[in-house]
């Protein structure tokens, strides 16, 4: 499913947070949204699934303006993994994943065997099946993140939005999550939008990325074209050293501390 | 391995049905049991026959005791117990806070002010003996209306603001209640009694007023069980799962308030039930509102039926305010549960 963002603007009161944001994401593609704190990354993600209402511009999924869709219909198309997943209630992992079926169920309808199958499949993909009867507040951060992804997958969405899904995870679990996303994009043909703070990992797993600076798109394109020395200095206000392994297509961005710079 | 988990799920479903069924039986037995207990001991079988209008040989006074004296009182205590438990459960879910109770929006102080105003001024308002419940009800709803609109920002109602607005408005009205007490003179006793809450002034009229409001409120809240589950995960999660968060908040708040206002206006301020019953049931049946709400409802009813039975029989010929008993017996039981569960997180 194709996601098109056209001229989106958003403001909190009189403070403009997003200005003239335009980009597209295709089926099977992972798009990274990068930028410093406060550049509008999370706000943009929230506008895409209408948690926040864009003041201007439109968001189209396969040509349909999401403003024409009910919240339930949006939830059938867009799955979300929000940044904050603090769940302090003793729900089991299976309960949580089954909640992903909500947009497909009537208000008083019980989950049927099909819903249970879908939930199980989502847990298989995310490798969380063995956790099914554990309590959500008793599993590790990496496991919890995978469970929330499983819940999003149980919605059977075509588009997946993730807000820093690797935050607070160790490097092993970061890679695990990103490998999973790659698999979902390539094998399951999902359209994926990912907010990230990790330039290196994002450059490895995103097909394309946009770099936000104070609510505007500073640059967009392939990782190696977006994450250049100049762009990074311009947006993040730091100097970096970049090793680009063309064969492997891997960028290695090494931040230089201001003191290092001043002594050189 | 993989089939296990699914079967477990189905098993839990079956277990839930069994829990609800046994609570239902418990409720019916409590109901009839409470009708048989009192200064005149009437066998349960006789109570049953009287209720269903069978013929038999018992003093005519039994019929009057059961139908006119005890029945409205037991129905009212069941209604108030279940209503407060469901409203409390909904509030705890909405606020994602175990300290939330039906009185969190200042309903109790608002209605207390309304009631004490009616008592002190002795106003009839054309409602005669209903002046006190009427004023309590009106001021309860007025308070919620006030709190809600103070907290409202555009189309949204942030829960933190709502909570704070409720606390502030509540303390304002408590101050007015104190003022009323101060100037009450001979009526002070009436105010104090009303504030403690109880069912000694139960009548069929009160049942007729409270029944539709409380039952309707409970049904509506029950209808939103799944939304309440999802909203426990946070508003952003709920929105992304297709829940219309602001609407659910509004509807649940309105109907929980309606229940509470109706309960308070017919029985005064009975504390503890709305806070502890949902909390206790959460420990017993888990956080899923689809089982939590109905079981809180039944246990709330059972609990208050027995507490009120104790209140009217413990020190005959007078009676104790039921609020004193609910807290004295309920709190230690709750503390026991709190200690017993082996959980480090969650409620």
Residues B280-298: tens digit of each pLDDT: 898 889 899 999 999 999 9
Q: Taking Cα atoms as reference points, which of B220, B338, B202 lies closest to residue B263?
A: B202
pLDDT value of residue A142? 87
Interface of A with B (CB under 8 A): 46, 49-51, 70-76, 78-80, 82, 84-91, 94-96, 99-100, 102-103, 105, 107-108, 110, 116, 120, 129, 132-133, 135, 137-138, 152, 155
The alpha-carbon gap from A192 to the nearest alpha carbon of chain B, in Å, equals 15
- Predicted TM-score (pTM) of the model is 0.90
Residue B122 pLDDT grade (very low, low, confident, very high; cuts 50, 70, 90): confident
Query: Which of B226, B242, B343 lies at the smallest CB-CB distance from A71?
Result: B242
Running DSSP on this structure, what letter comes out for residue B142? H
Q: Are B30 and B22 in contact (CB under 8 A)?
A: no
Closest residue in A to B233 (Cα–Cα) = A87
Residues in chain A with CB shorter than 8 Å from the CB of B9 are 94, 116
Closest residue in chain B to residue A138, using alpha carbons only: B345
Give yes or no for B288 touching A (CB within 8 A).
yes
- Beta-bridged to residue A211, according to DSSP, are A34, A219
Average pLDDT over residues B154-173: 92
Contacts of A95 (CB under 8 A, 6+ apart): A136, B288
Looking at CA atoms only, how far is residue A184 from chain B in angstroms?
19
Alpha-carbon span B197 to B258, nearest angstrom? 18
Share of chain B above pLDDT 70, in %: 94
pLDDT in tens, B66-102: 999 999 999 999 999 999 999 999 999 999 887 789 9
Mutate to test the interface with B, among A73, A94, A99, A155 (most CBs of B within 10 A): A99
| Sites in chain A below the pLDDT cut of 50 | 262-264
Rounded to 10 deg, the angle between the B71-95 and B289-313 helix axes is: 140
Q: What's the gap in Å between the CA of B242 and the closest CA on chain A?
A: 4
**Which range among A46-55, A232-241, B119-128, B147-156 shows the weakest confidence by mean pLDDT?**
B119-128
pLDDT the model gives residue A195: 96
pLDDT of residue B346: 43
Q: Sign of torsion, CA A68 A72 A76 A77?
A: positive
CA distance B109 to B22: 36
Are B240 and A48 within 8 A, CB to CB?
A: no
CB contact at 8 A, B165 and B147? yes
Q: Which helix (H) or strand (E) holds A194?
A: strand A191-195
Q: Do the Cβ atoms of A75 and B234 come within 8 Å?
A: no
ipTM summary value: 0.89
- Following DSSP, what letter does each residue of A116-142 receive, concatenated? HHHHHHHHHHTT-GGGTTSBGGGS-HH
Residues of B whose CB is below 8 A from A49: 239-240
Beta strands A30-34; A15-25: pairing state: unpaired
Give the chain A residue nearest B97 (alpha carbons). Answer: A88
The CATH classification number of A3-263 equals 3.40.50.300
Three-point CA angle A148, B161, B178, nearest 5°: 135
Superfamily assignment of B2-340 in CATH?
A: ABC transporter involved in vitamin B12 uptake, BtuC (1.10.3470.10)
Contact residues for B254 (Cβ-Cβ < 8 A; gap 6+): B144
pLDDT at A248: 77
Q: What is the pLDDT of residue A263?
A: 46
For A3-42, write each residue's pLDDT tens digit. 999 999 999 888 999 999 999 999 999 999 999 999 999 9
Minimum-distance CB partner of A90 among B223, B236, B343 = B343
Best of B237, B251, B283 to disrupt the A interface by mutation (most A CBs within 10 Å)? Answer: B237
Contact across the interface for B223 and A102, Cβ inside 8 Å = no
How does residue B337 score in pLDDT terms, banded at 50, 70 and 90? confident
Peptide bond into B317 cis (omega under 30): yes
In angstroms and rounded to an integer, the radius of gyration of the C-alpha atoms of chain A is 19
CA proximity to B244, closest of A74, A159, A224: A74
Q: State the pLDDT confidence band at B21, using cuts at 50, 70 and 90.
A: very high
Tell me the sheet residues that pair with A239.
A256
Contacts of B284 in chain A (CB under 8 A): none
* Size of the A and B interface in Cβ pairs below 8 Å: 97
Which of the four pLDDT bands, split at 50, 70 and 90, describes residue B347? Answer: very low
**Chain B, window 230-259: residues with a beta carbon less than 8 angstroms from a chain A beta carbon:** 230, 232-234, 236-237, 239-244
User: In chain B, what residues touch A87 (CB-CB under 8 Å)?
Assistant: 232-234
Q: What is the pLDDT of residue B112?
A: 94
Q: Give residues with Cβ within 8 angstroms of B141, minimum separation 6.
A: B257, B258, B261
- For A11, the 3-state DSSP assignment is strand
What is residue A258's predicted lDDT score, i.e. its pLDDT? 64
């Amino acid at each position: 499913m194709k996601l098109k963002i056209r001229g989106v603007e958003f403001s909190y009161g009189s403070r403009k947070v997003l200005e003239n944001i335009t980009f597209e994401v295709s089926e099977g593609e992972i798009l990274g949204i990068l930028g410093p704190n406060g550049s509008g990354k999370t706000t943009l993600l929230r506008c895409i699934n209408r948690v926040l209402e864009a003041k201007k511009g439109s968001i189209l999924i396969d040509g349909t303006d999401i403003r024409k869709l009910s919240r339930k219909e949006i939830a059938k198309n867009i799955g979300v993994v929000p940044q904050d997943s603090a769940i302090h209630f003793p729900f089991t992992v299976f309960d949580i994943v089954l909640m992903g079926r909500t947009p497909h169920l009537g208000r008083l309808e019980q989950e049927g065997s099909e819903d249970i199958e879908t939930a199980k499949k989502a847990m298989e993909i995310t490798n969380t099946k063995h956790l099914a009867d554990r309590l959500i507040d008793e599993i590790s951060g990496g496991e919890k993140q995978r469970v929330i992804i499983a819940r999003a997958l149980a919605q059977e969405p075509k588009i997946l939005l993730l807000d820093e899904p690797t935050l607070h995870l160790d490097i092993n679990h970061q890679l695990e999550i990103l490998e999973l996303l790659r698999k979902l994009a390539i094998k399951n043909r999902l359209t994926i939008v990912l907010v990230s703070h990790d330039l290196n990992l994002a450059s490895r797993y995103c097909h394309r990325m946009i770099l936000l600076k104070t609510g505007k798109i500073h640059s967009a394109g392939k990782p190696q074209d977006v994450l250049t020395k100049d762009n990074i200095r311009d947006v993040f206000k730091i100097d970096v050293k970049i090793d680009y392994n063309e064969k492997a297509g891997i960028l290695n961005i090494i931040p230089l501390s201001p003191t290092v710079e001043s002594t050189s | 391995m993989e089939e296990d988990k699914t079967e477990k799920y189905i098993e839990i479903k079956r277990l839930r049905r069994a829990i609800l069924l046994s609570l239902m039986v418990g409720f019916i037995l409590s109901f009839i049991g409470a009708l048989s207990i009192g200064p005149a001991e009437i066998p349960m079988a006789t109570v049953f026959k009287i209720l269903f209008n069978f013929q038999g040989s018992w003093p005519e006074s039994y019929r009057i005791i059961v139908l006119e004296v005890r029945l409205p009182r037991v129905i009212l205590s069941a209604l108030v117990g279940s209503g407060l438990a469901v409203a409390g459960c909904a509030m705890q879910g909405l606020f994602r806070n175990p300290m939330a109770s039906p009185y969190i929006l200042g309903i109790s102080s608002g209605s207390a002010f309304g009631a004490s105003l009616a008592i002190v001024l002795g106003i009839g308002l054309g409602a005669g003996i209903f002046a006190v419940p009427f004023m309590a009800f009106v001021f309860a709803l007025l308070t919620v209306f006030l709190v809600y609109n103070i907290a409202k920002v555009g189309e949204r109602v942030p829960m933190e603001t709502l909570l704070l607005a409720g606390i502030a408005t509540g303390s304002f009205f408590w101050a007015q209640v104190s003022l009323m007490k101060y100037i009450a003179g001979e009526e002070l006793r009436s105010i104090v009694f009303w504030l403690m809450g109880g069912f000694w002034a139960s009548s069929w009229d009160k049942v007729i007023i409270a029944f539709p409001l409380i039952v309707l409120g409970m049904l509506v809240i029950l209808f939103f069980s799944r939304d309440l589950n999802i909203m426990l995960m946070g508003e952003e999660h709920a929105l992304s799962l297709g829940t219309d968060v602001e609407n659910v908040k509004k509807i649940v708040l309105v109907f929980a308030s309606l229940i509470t206002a109706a309960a308070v206006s017919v029985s005064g301020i009975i504390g503890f039930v709305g806070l502890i019953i949902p909390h206790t049931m959460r420990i017993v049946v888990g956080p899923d509102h689809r089982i939590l709400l109905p079981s809180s409802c039944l246990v709330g009813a059972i609990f208050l039926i027995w507490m009120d039975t104790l209140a009217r029989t413990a020190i005959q010929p007078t009676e104790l305010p039921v609020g004193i008993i609910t807290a004295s017996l309920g709190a230690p039981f709750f503390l026991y549960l709190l200690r017993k569960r082996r959980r480090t997180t969650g409620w």
